[in-house]
Structure 1
Amino acid sequence: MNNQDSAPEEDITKEIHSDFARLRQNLGKFLKGLTSLRPGLDREGTIRRIKENKRIQGANAWLLMCSIMVASLGLDLNSPAVIIGGMLISPLMSPILGLGLGIATNDRDALSTAGRHFGIAIGIALFTSTVYFFITPFGELTDEIVMRTEPTFLDVLVAFFGGIAGIISVSREEQSSAIPGVAIATALMPPLCVTGFGLAKALESMLGLGIPANFDTSSLIFNSFYLFFLNSFFVAAATFLIVRYLNFPFKKYPDVRTRKRTLLFIFSFSLLMIIPSFFILRRVLQKVNIERGRQRFIQEYLEEKSKYLDDCQIVETDDGKTLVLKVYGSVINMSDSVLYKEGMQAVGLGDLDLEIIPTSEIDLSLFSSLQAQFEHFNTSFDERLDIFRETQRSDLNALATNQEKLSKKASYTQLLGELLILFDGLEEVAYAEHHLSSDSTLAPVLMLKWATEKDRDELLREQDKIKALCDGRDLPISLLSVLE
């Protein structure tokens, strides 16, 4: 009986395992189809296109010079849009892809040609950008130039994934529009132009022309060219990996030793290229953290006193770094130095010294801002004052009107009592205001009731007397109504 019960349980377990195996197999097929690069792959066409475009000569040389000029103008004018335009028309990606393809397929002739034309491209770019920055009337160190002088490991990632996108795009039978995006993302052109900028400034210094640069030209040249070479190398490295993954035609190494030596060279050179970027990234992160700490210190520990702050800078000397506060007046002073040092410790600036310097300089931008605020306040105050005056005028007019009405009403009330005394037979007198039919004006009306009957002539004479009495007291009566 137990054997009969266990048999169905074993069958159910086997069926569940079988279903999971099929699910895993189907999921694997789906993911393989989703991520496969082989559909639409054109190996021969890819090799042909890269070999045809990797030569920097003729039209490609002219395109490169134009792109360098456009990018240099963008850097000089501090215009990102112009820089992007220069990157879009640059033919520099092709020889870099050619380097990666030559290494991946072990095609020494293709590698030699790509390397030679890559060097020619660098020479054309440096010559063009150096000449431009040597003769330009501007030639200042703009923000766009500074941005190309701090290569980090993040630039390695950009170049690597940009290179993957580039070679995948080129390897398709139907060409995609990814190459222009790769050219923008990897930013090959601007660093070369910045190197030309540094060379131009160094040449001016050697010839004694112009104003001496207020920055380290050698550091600028090295960092910008390193960024260019870093981007180029990892675009080529990404090309190498994708070409090997897609099994492009490969020329075998003469022996195992040559193969190992080549792979070791690629690995060592990759490591050599990456290592400096980590140190630069660490330095950049330190700058970012210090700047964040400086802003937090102003917001959290100076608070309302920050309006007396002219400037707050971190000055680096041989003895270390110092947080220098340039202040107006004596509201911010060293008597609160203990509190300020605690605040600096809390925001991550504990290693910095503190120095507070009174200043008599006028910050024109701050003055202009205060002047604008004052003018706005004056305008707002004048507008509110006009509104207040108009409201006051309206209230006074309304009050005067009400007083006039009350005064007239009191006069009419007094008149009613006198009429009862002066006119015999007048039993009742009432006062009211009535809308005239011609317009909406309120007209005063007296309503009379006589105790004795009067003929028409007598009644008219009495009414004329009453009207005359009212007119004499400047209490006009528009209508007399006689109540029977």
Structure 2
Amino acid sequence: IATFIIVKYLRYPKTHYIDKKREKRITQSITIITIILVLPSVYFAYNLLQEKKYTSKVNQFVQQELSNKGYTVIYEKLEMNSNPKKLELAFLSKKFSDKEVESLQRVMESFGITNTNLVIHQDSLDLKSSILSEIDRRTAAVSEKDLTIRALNNELAKYQLASPQLDRDIAVLFPELNSYSIGVQQHYAKADSVARIVAFIYATKTPLPLAQHEKLQQWLQNHFPKDSVAIISQ
């Protein structure tokens, strides 16, 4: 679409076909495709604009007609997907009569907030139920995220073997090692069999004596008792 608009704007020479009917069909096809691509974007942009305007009107109504008059709003919920829409409110101490609620409904319509029911929670049990329901919904969403993060952290911890304490122990027990790297590898022995192996790769100036190599093997095996250990010398 952008290319089409730029070409039109720069007024590149139009290609003319000898067959005028074919040229007309191509022009019509391009026009139809452009309309099909543009219409959804225009539709969603229009709906988004209307939603923002509606939300702004609701906020203006609550601020001017309620908050600015000293009524402390402790609960506010706007349902825009229902028909009619619904604005739920609850206040710290103010109690509204049925006539006052009807009056607020009319005032709300004067703000351009149409097709919307105003619901004011005044019964403590009703209010408590609504608030607890909202809290439960948000808590469930947070809990689900926490569980996902915890699971990812646990999975990541399985592959993070190096630690400051491990560095200190190796430096004391095996001073011959100049450097090392350690990590977890998945070893596929069979199609349906996967083994977890701790791979320890080290470098020394001179070959490590057999006794030290066996000591390192045993020490690592004791350190990671649930896994197989593979030692590789560079």
Q: What band does the TM-score fall into relative to the shorter chain? A: 0.3 to 0.5
TM-score by length of 2: 0.45
TM-score by length of 1: 0.23
Comparing both chains, which one has the higher relative contact order based on Cα–Cα distances under 8 Å and sequence gaps of 6 or more?
Answer: 1
Structure 1 or 2: more strand by fraction:
2
Of the two, which has the highest radius of gyration?
Answer: 1
Structure 1 or 2: more helix by fraction:
1
